Amino acid sequence: MISPIKAILIGIGAMSLIGADSNEHHLITKITSIQLAERLNTSDGKGFYAEILTAITKNNRFRMDIQIQPLKRSLVDFAERKADCIWPIDRNLIVKLIGESSDILESDYVFEASQHIFTAPGQPAISNLKELAGKLVGVTIGSNVEKELRDASALVDPVPLQDNKINMLMAGHLFAIIGWAPDFLITFHDLKLGSPQYDKSLVLTKTRNAFVCHKSPVTINFLKKMNPAIKAFRVSAQSKTIAEKYGVSQIFGHEDISN
């Protein structure tokens, strides 16, 4: 027969285990999601990146508080730890923007984005930076490749918004624009402007879109579940369906997905 004292101790231990499991189940991860252009990630939770987030998390035990905010606000909230994680971005860029930190974690990547030189539909693609010499090229203000373009004797025109760059390109005011795939491809597809021309082999920069988080019990638990969910999504039929819907199968197709 178990003594009364031993029974009490066993009961306390069991309650502690139940409490720990319950606490883990109820951890809420605060995520700041970067607001982007139409059809990418809008303030009402729609677009390519929003659908990816929903697809990854909908069939898993995630408890999240998602705030979709402009880039600057998202960065400030993450830097000030008002948000546990930020999406979509990579760790290298976060460290560059808010400073080195050993406690910043990164999930498995969801897909790889690449930066290219785009010309208008029907125009020749640019295969070498030297082709931009003396030409007017649109870049986002603060672009990471502005110096490289100036070194190639391009005439750099800083433009505040992605849509502005596209409109100026289509109107013939710019010879070429710098942008990211799949983002620019989605925007062109959405605006029914045709397919912009670019040389896939001329990659200015690459980045892996992922969830970047401050290290904590909350985020360790979150990433423990998120990483297998991301891997499953990358090889799922739903990833292909989303890519086809937004006209970027060549960027996010199963044939391009590898671990």
pLDDT band at 252 (very low <50, low <70, confident <90, very high): low
C-alpha R_g of the chain: 23
pLDDT for the residue 256: 43
pLDDT at 129: 96
The three-class DSSP label of residue 254 is helix
This model's pTM is above 0.85: no
Query: pLDDT per residue over 26-49, tens digit each?
Result: 589 999 999 998 889 999 999 999
Non-local (6+) Cβ contacts of 38 within 8 A are: 47, 163, 187, 190
* pLDDT tens, residue by residue, 78-131: 999 999 999 999 998 888 888 877 799 999 999 999 999 999 999 999 999 999
Question: Residue 157, class by beta-carbon neighbours within 10 Å (0-12 exposed, 13-18 middle, 19+ buried)?
Answer: middle
Can you tell me the distance from the alpha carbon of 21 to that of 23, in angstroms, rounded to the nearest whole number?
5
Q: Is the pLDDT of residue 20 over 50?
A: no
Q: Report residue 202 CA to chain centroid gap.
A: 21
How much is the pLDDT for 16? 39
Residues 6+ apart with CB under 8 A from 10: 2
**Which of 119, 123, 256 has its CA nearest to residue 184?**
119
- Residue 198: pLDDT band (50, 70, 90) is very high
In Å, how far are 33, 182, 214 from 232, measured between CA atoms?
Answer: 21, 21, 24
pLDDT confidence of residue 13: 44
Roughly what angle, to the nearest 10 degrees, separates helices 237-245 and 217-234?
Answer: 80
Q: Is the pLDDT of residue 2 over 60?
A: no
User: What contacts 7, CB < 8 A, 6 or more positions away?
Assistant: none
Share of the chain above pLDDT 70, in %: 86
> pLDDT at residue 215 above 80?
yes
pLDDT for residue 10 is more than 80: no
Is the confidence at residue 254, as pLDDT, over 80? Answer: no
Return the pLDDT at 97: 84
Residues 138, 118: Cα–Cα separation, whole Å: 10
Highest-pLDDT range among 139-153, 178-192, 218-232: 218-232
What is the band of 136 on the pLDDT scale with cuts at 50, 70, 90?
A: very high
Higher pLDDT, 160 or 165: 165
Q: Are 211 and 85 in contact (CB under 8 A)?
A: yes
Cα separation, 42 vs 44, whole angstroms: 5
The DSSP-derived string for 203-247 is -SEEEEEEEEEE-SHHHHHHHHHHHHHHHHHHTSHHHHHHHHHTT
d(C-alpha 125, C-alpha 145), whole Å: 18
Contact present, 71 and 34 (Cβ < 8 Å): yes
Tokens for 131? Answer: 């082709």
DSSP state of 195: P
What sign for the dihedral angle of Cα 126, 131, 135, 139? positive
pLDDT confidence of 251, banded at 50, 70, 90?
low
CA 126 to chain centre: 26
